[in-house]
Structures are given as structure tokens and as C-alpha cells.
Chains A and B, each alone.
Chain A
Amino acid sequence: MEAAASRISWLRIRFFKSRFFLIVLYLLIVYLTAWNTFYFESWLHKVFPQFKNVIYPGATPEELFIDHLKITFYSSFGALVFSCIFSALIFTRFFADFKKLIIDLASFLQTIPSVAIIGVVIPVLGYGLIPIVIALVAYSILPVTLNIVRGLESVPEFYLETAEALGLSKSFIFFKVKLPLAAPVIIAGIKNMLIINVSAATMGALVGAGGLGVPIMAGIHDFNPAFIIQGSVPTAAMALLIDELLKIGEGYA
């Protein structure tokens, strides 16, 4: 009897910790807080009865969400493309000498808080979607490049040697052996970049590019915690969602 009960509770824990459950949960949170905010609004009214507005009135939640996705998507895509070009360059003979320099630079740039970048962006690039995208791309190229380089270098030599000894061509070895073996490290880098970009996209509000940063800024300005929650909860849920999704790619076999 007791054994059966503990078995059921064990199953329950396993379900609630399962990846599928978490992915559905995060998706639901994003949907209910950033898209269809009917229930969210009534809940916020209950929690903060003193405020008339609990949902940012300047733009519809859908607009904010789509703007946020735009910033995240463009900057992540740009970072990915440039990182691939960069790491390909690093592996050419000409740039091989700069590898250490680039890796050091990347580690150094990682220590700068992303908010500080905005200080550079506004005077140099002005306002709008493009400046924030350029800023985020610049900020996240190097960490991704770093992980691509590290991942490819972490593939044990004897795998490549046995592949060579089998009589496989260089390009076949790269795509079928080296890249898949480096994938966990590379995907971890991409995951990090996406998570940074999702949350850093809130800074789009500072340069007038919209996004979920807008209610956060408004909330800070008006001392309205409900706005802050409206902006930050879906952002955090999206970051967690990406983390959970890309963990699938990180651990093969």
C-alpha cells in the first residue's frame, strides 16, 4: 500500500519535472501574459486593487510581444550568421594567430553589462529597431564564436584520426563527425546567446524599438509594479522556454 503510494508520488514528481511539462507550462505562461491577457488582467486587478490600469495602455500586448520577438529574432539571427563567418575565418591559416586574441577579447566583452551597450548605441546609431539589433548582434557575436571555436577544438583528436584513416574526405569528416561531436558545446553557446537576447531585447524600449521593455520602463516611471510584472513575466518565461527547448539538442544519445 505504502509502496504503491510512493510509486504514484514518484511518477507525479517525474511528470512535473519532465521536459514536456515544462515546455507546455512556459508556453502557457507566455500566451496568458503576453497575448491573451484577459485572465492575467483580472488577476493583476486582484493583486493590485489600488491601480486603475494594470495592463500598459500605450500599446496592445500583442504589439509589444511581436516587437519583442522581432528584436530577439533579428539580433539572434544576425549573431548566428556573423559568428559562423567569424569562426570560419578563425580556422583559416591567416587568422590562426589571432585566435587567442579573439578569445580573450570575447571573454572581456562578456563582462560588460548589456545595459552599458545602450549608452554607446544611442549617440552613435540613434533610435529605432536597427540600432538595438546592431547593438545586440555586436554583444552576442563573440560568445557564440567562442563556443563554436571551443566546441570544434574539444573534439578528441583520435575520432578525427580514425575518420581520416577510414578514407573519408575532409568535408565529410567535418559535417558528419566533427560538427555533430561539437554540437553540444555550440548549441550551449547559441542557447546562452538566445537567452541573453530575449532578456536584453527589453532594452529596445530605451531606444524606441518597442518590445516588452516598454511596460517595464513605464512601470518604473509610474511606480506601477503591475506594468513591470506584465513585461518581465513573459520575458522570463520565454528565456526559460528557450533553455528547455535547446537542452534537447545539447544532450544527444
Chain B
Amino acid sequence: MIRLDGVTKSYRGKTVVKDLSLEIKEGETCVLLGPSGCGKSTTLRMINRLVVPDRGEIFIEGRNVKNYDLLELRRRIGYVIQSVGLFPHLTVAENVGILLKYLKWPKKKISQRVEELLALVRLDPDVYKNRYPHELSGGEAQRVGVARALAADPPILLMDEPFGALDPKTREQLQSEFANLKRLLKKTIVFVTHDVYEAVIMGDKIAILKDGELQQYAEPLQIWHNPANDFVASFVGAEFGFHVLSRFCLKEIDCDPVKDHSYEEMLLPRFNPSTNLKVVVAEMIRKRSTKAFVVLDGKPQGIVTFERIIDYIRRAGHGSSC
């Protein structure tokens, strides 16, 4: 879907992106992760031609971005940034519908689409559509920003630290909501962040950059198992494994059958099958237990042990289940 081929960009003699090659498949989310100034935003902005690379080519759906009509290219690519950039003189509805208005959609169709989009990002259209950006909280503004980027239903979405400026609570909520939303929308997403946790929960694949050079491009689990070099290992940190665990669900793991309803078993920590492994492991440690009860609607499903979890993680090839 998106292919970067030996892309290089420098500003005033300083190379920000150096010979970068990446391939992002359709429907996949690629996270560009790295410390600030590593060229991740520049890479993103080269995809929609806000920045022109010095060398190298970028292809979208097999076609060089240079050969696209600029406006057509950008309409196929939604763009969400940290500062949101909602136009302060327009209402929420006008902000979301500005591109549709430019494309001369009929008024009724625009307002229909706007309401649909607002509902999609979980804002009540009746409450929000006539508000101005300064009347929104940071989280609400960011939701509107996402809705606006989705207005013309672009197959590609570029997101530049979209949740970076939010308070931790709101950020967490938006992250999990967006993770759900992106599964629903099946867009190809390029996501820039410097937050390792965010990279792990958002990305199907993570590209780790340092000083404009690609260090590793792999799935989170692979990065955890085999970091490409010392920089990657130290950047993602030792707690990276915990973040990766949060991508997997208890239901994926084979259970031991419940043998007898002994007193001991009744005291085990209990979990719903859709609980993620990070929570499970932490809770098992807290309860000083190497086993946990899997319970669905009050019915015991089986017993999971530490060995089972370790075994599963060792074998788990790719993807996530949570």
C-alpha cells in the first residue's frame, strides 16, 4: 500500500531522514517510534508531500506520489496532528465538513456525513456540532480532528503524535477507543509517537528510528524477543515486555481443565477470558499464585498457569488478540 524506497531528506546540511525504506501493507498500522528529532514526523510529512524528499521514491498503491495530482493525493490521505489544527472560526460541523464543502457535496449530504463521523468518534452530534473549537476539551478536539481526517473516507491515515498533548487519563481512553476504531475502519495507518507503550498498543508493526536511520522494523513481539541492537533494546526498555503482554488475551491460551472444586482452587484469582495478559500476570504476582481461574459468566472455563503463558508467548508468532 505504502512503500518508501531509499528516502533521504536533509535540512541545512543536517540529514533528518537517511536512506529509509519501509513497506506498509494495506490495513496495517505502522508506528514510527523514536526519540524526538529522529525524523519520524518528517517521514510522515513526506508521504502526503508536505515535505519533498531529496532522494528516494514513495509509492502509494504502486504509484509514485509525484505522479498523483497533489490535491487528489492529499484527499486520499487523512492527517491528524498533535495540535489538532481545528479552525477556530468554524464550528465543529463546519470543521469536519470543510473538505466536503470544497468538493461541493450537497448540504444535506454533508450534514449527514458529519453526524455519522461525530458518532463514530463518540461525540453526540446534537451536543457538539454547533460548538466552536475553544469550547471543547483537549480530548474532544482531538476526536473532532480524527473525524475531520476521515471525512472523505481516505484509505490512508497519517497521525502525528495525535494523543501527545492530552492528560494521561484522556490519552489512555482515546488510545483504547482508537484501537477499536481502527479495527473497525480497516485503514492503512502510519502513526508517529515517542511513547513506547502507545507504539505497542497501536502498531501492527513498529519502525524504530534513530537520527533518521531505521534501526528495526518488526512486530512488537519480535522486537521484544530479538531487539536488533543495543539502541533498540535500551530505547524500548526492560518493561517493554509488559506492554507487549497487553496485546494478548487470556482466551488464546490453552487451559488446564478444572479438576475438582477444591478449596485451594476457589481462592485463585479469577479473570474473564478477554482480560489482557499484562493484567493477568500482574494480578497473579499480587495474589502470589502461579495459577489463575478463567471464568466466563460465572462458569469456570479452566485454569491457566504461568507455564502456559510463557509457552504461549514463546510460540506466538505475530499479531495481537486484545
Q: A residues bordering B, Cβ < 8 Å?
A: 158-159, 161-169, 172, 176-177, 180-181, 183, 252-253
- Taking a contact as CB atoms under 8 Å apart, the answer to whether B89 and A167 are in contact is no
Kindly specify which of B71-79, B120-128, B231-239, B240-248 makes contact with the partner chain: B71-79
B102 within 8 A of A: yes
- Taking a contact as CB atoms under 8 Å apart, the answer to whether A252 and B89 are in contact is yes
Q: What is the chain B residue whose CB lies nearest that of A252?
A: B89
Q: What is the chain B residue whose CB lies nearest that of A176?
A: B98
Question: Contacts A158-B81, A164-B50; is A181 near B75 (CB within 8 Å)?
Answer: no
B contact residues around A168 at 8 Å (CB): 71, 98-99, 102
| Chain A interface SS verdict (over half) | helix
CB distance from A182 to the nearest CB of B (A): 10
3 nearest A-B residue pairs (beta carbon): A162-B85, A167-B74, A167-B75
A contact residues around B149 at 8 Å (CB): 166
B contact residues around A177 at 8 Å (CB): 87
- Per the bound structure, the CA–CA distance linking A163 and B87 in Å amounts to 9
Count of chain A to chain B residue pairs whose CB atoms are closer than 8 Å in the complex: 58
Partner of B88, one of A163, A169, A253: A253
| Chain B interface SS verdict (over half) | mixed
- Taking a contact as CB atoms under 8 Å apart, the answer to whether B71 and A169 are in contact is yes
18 residue pairs of the A-B complex, CB under 8 angstroms, read A158-B81, A161-B85, A163-B85, A163-B87, A163-B98, A164-B74, A165-B77, A165-B79, A166-B98, A167-B74, A168-B99, A172-B102, A176-B98, A176-B102, A177-B87, A180-B87, A253-B88, A253-B134
Interface residue tally on B, bucketed by range: 20 to 34
- Taking a contact as CB atoms under 8 Å apart, the answer to whether A161 and B88 are in contact is no
B contact residues around A161 at 8 Å (CB): 50, 81, 85
Question: Contacts A164-B74, A166-B79; is A159 near B102 (CB within 8 Å)?
Answer: no
- Per the bound structure, the CA–CA distance linking A162 and B85 in Å amounts to 6
Partner of B81, one of A162, A169, A253: A162
